[in-house]
């Protein structure tokens, strides 16, 4: 049987934060703890023995894992240290890894995805603000301060998957304003290569008993939307899927060509028009305007 999404962030998941003494990570820990996330330990090499909002800091993941047994890690370290931090987590039994770090070189991302597969660890990111199970817990800075998080996100049965961190909260906030709650909201990461793309996450959510529908936010470039469309054409989903794609005007702007490899590898994929057509042909409702993203969702007329 395929795994459901509960291992990503279960109400009882014990969470580690790597790079916990950083400014952004420290603020994130305060907000996540206030929202109910069970952050049990942090790691910053060389700063073992300190505390961040009451969370003990260790020099190594080995030590933190031996004492607290976390299964989830949030990585918020400088880009040059991200690959090493992820490998350290994989080596010590972490099963789910969320990488917030921006500007991780593609080579490092690709290497860590290969290593994660070998270690049986799922990855979200890099370059994500995080994910949230409304009413339960959150990982990362998604939604910001706890009062803002409570206003934007409400528990329910619609999943939000977004290539933009800011739009994850914006979409959830809009759904909330229309009385539609969310089962999970995930900023999948803004990079060309990410640990879990739309297709992989939809397949996970298809096995998730708490999710009935999904709203997807896509952008120009890459092939994530087309890839999802291909999967849905082969095998329709039990989930109602709505999509909103921004950046239509980018199709009209003149680009600059450099080399042929991009066209050979990605073909004519990447344009918003192409993505829209592919998703519609696969049975996905693609909203013309942002407000239409709620159309046809469970609970909507």
Partner 1 sequence: MKLLEHQSKKLLSQFGLAFTPAIVVQTAEAAVQAAKQLQASSFIPHPSSFVLKAQVPFGGRGKAGAVRFADTPGDACRVAGELLAMELRGVKVTSVSVEPKIAFTRELYAGVAWDTTAKLPVALLSVAGGVEVEASKQVARRNFDPWDGLSAFEGRELAAQAGLSGKTLVGIGGALEKLARAFLACDAVLMEINPLVETADGALIGLDAHVEIEDDAAYRQKQRLATLGEIAPTATGRKPTPLELEAQRIDAMDHRGVAGRVVEFDGDLALLIGGGGASLTVFDAIRRHGGKPANYCEVGGNPTEEKVAALTALLLSKPGIKKVAVIMNVVNNTRADVMARGVLLGCEKAGRKPAETISVFRIPGSWEQEARALLAKAGVEALGREMSLDEAARRAVAGVCDRHPSNEIGAHRAPLQQKH
Q: Which two tokens stand for residue 265?
A: 């590898």
**For this structure, is 260 an active site residue?**
yes
When the beta carbons of 22 and 70 are compared against partner 1, the nearer one is 22
Q: Is 250 in the site for partner 1 (CB under 8 A)?
A: yes
Radius of gyration of the chain (CA): 19
Position 300 contacts partner 1 (CB under 8 A): no
- Give the bridge partners for 123, in sequence order: 97
CA dihedral 241, 293, 31, 6 (to 10 degrees): -10
107 counts as binding partner 1 under rule CB under 8 A: yes
Q: x/- binding map, residues 197-216, to partner 1, per CB under 8 A?
A: --------------------
Least CB distance to partner 1 at residue 49 (A): 30
CA angle 75, 164, 236 (to 5 degrees): 100
Nearest to 43 by CA among 65, 24, 23, 14: 65
Provide the token pair at 219.
Answer: 């952008």
Q: Could you give the 3-state DSSP secondary structure of residue 253?
A: coil
Q: Six-digit token pair at 220?
A: 């120009």
Considering the rule CB under 8 A, would residue 262 count as an interface residue with partner 1? Answer: yes
Contact predicate 204/6, CB 8 Å: no
Does residue 109 contact residue 191 with C-beta atoms inside 8 Å? yes
Q: Interacting stretch for partner 1, rule CB under 8 A, among 42-50, 53-61, 66-74, 170-178?
A: 170-178
We find the least distance from the C-beta atom of residue 91 to partner 1, in angstroms, to be 15
Measured in degrees and rounded to the nearest 5, phi and psi for residue 130 equal: 125, -165
170 binds partner 1 (CB under 8 A): yes
How far apart, in whole angstroms, are the C-alpha atoms of residue 234 and residue 267? 20
3-state SS record for 110-161? HHHHHHHHHHCCEEECCCCCEEEECCCEEEECCCCCHHHHHHHCCEEEEEEE
Report, in Å, the least distance between residue 243 CB and partner 1: 13
Residues 125, 113: contact at Cβ < 8 Å?
no
With contacts defined by CB under 8 A, name the span among 14-22, 32-40, 131-139, 187-195 that binds partner 1: 187-195
- Exactly one of 56, 190, 214, 274 binds partner 1 (CB under 8 A); which one? 190
Which entry of 53, 68, 92, 260 is annotated as an active-site residue? Answer: 260
Contact flags string 129-168 toward partner 1, x per CB under 8 A? ------------x-xxx--x--xx---------xxxxxx-
How many CB atoms within 10 Å of residue 96?
A: 25
Report the residue number, 56 or 134, with the smaller CB distance to partner 1. Answer: 134
Q: Three-state DSSP class for 229?
A: helix
At its nearest, how many Å lie between partner 1 and the CB of residue 197? 8
Least distance from partner 1 to the Cβ atom of residue 19, Å? 17
Q: Which of 14, 30, 113, 300 binds partner 1 (CB under 8 A)?
A: 113
Counting contacts by CB under 8 A, is residue 280 touching partner 1? no
Please report whether residue 110 would count as binding partner 1 according to CB under 8 A: yes
Which residues are identified as catalytic? 260
Residues found near partner 1 in the complex (CB under 8 A) = 79-80, 103-107, 109-111, 113-115, 141, 143-145, 148, 151-152, 162-167, 169-170, 173-174, 177, 190, 192-194, 217, 219-220, 222-224, 227, 244, 246-250, 252-266, 288-291
């Amino acid at each position: 049987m395929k795994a459901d999404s509960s291992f990503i962030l279960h109400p009882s998941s014990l969470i580690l934060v790597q790079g916990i003494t950083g400014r952004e990570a420290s603020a994130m820990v305060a907000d996540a703890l206030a929202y109910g996330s069970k952050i049990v330990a942090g790691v910053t090499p060389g700063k073992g023995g300190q505390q961040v909002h009451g969370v003990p800091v260790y020099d190594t993941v080995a030590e933190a894992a031996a004492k607290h047994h976390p299964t989830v890690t949030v990585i918020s370290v400088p880009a040059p240290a991200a690959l090493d931090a992820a490998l350290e987590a994989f080596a010590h039994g972490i099963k789910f890894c969320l990488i917030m770090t921006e500007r991780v070189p593609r080579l490092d991302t690709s290497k860590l995805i290969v290593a994660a597969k070998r270690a049986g660890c799922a990855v979200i990111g890099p370059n994500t603000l995080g994910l949230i199970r409304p009413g339960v817990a959150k990982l990362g800075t998604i939604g910001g301060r706890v009062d803002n998080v409570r206003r934007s996100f409400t528990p329910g049965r619609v999943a939000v998957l977004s290539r933009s961190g800011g739009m994850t909260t914006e979409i959830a906030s809009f759904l909330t304003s229309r009385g539609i709650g969310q089962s999970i909201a995930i900023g999948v990461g803004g990079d060309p290569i990410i640990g879990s793309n739309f297709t992989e996450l939809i397949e996970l959510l298809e096995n998730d008993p708490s999710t009935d529908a999904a709203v997807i936010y896509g952008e120009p470039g890459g092939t994530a939307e087309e890839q999802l469309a291909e999967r849905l054409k082969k095998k329709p989903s039990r989930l109602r899927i709505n999509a909103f794609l921004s950046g239509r005007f980018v199709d009209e702007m003149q680009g600059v060509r450099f080399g042929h490899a991009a066209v050979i590898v990605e073909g004519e994929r990447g344009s918003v028009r192409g993505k829209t057509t592919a998703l519609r042909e696969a049975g996905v409702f693609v909203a013309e305007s942002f407000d239409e993203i709620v159309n046809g969702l469970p609970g909507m007329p």
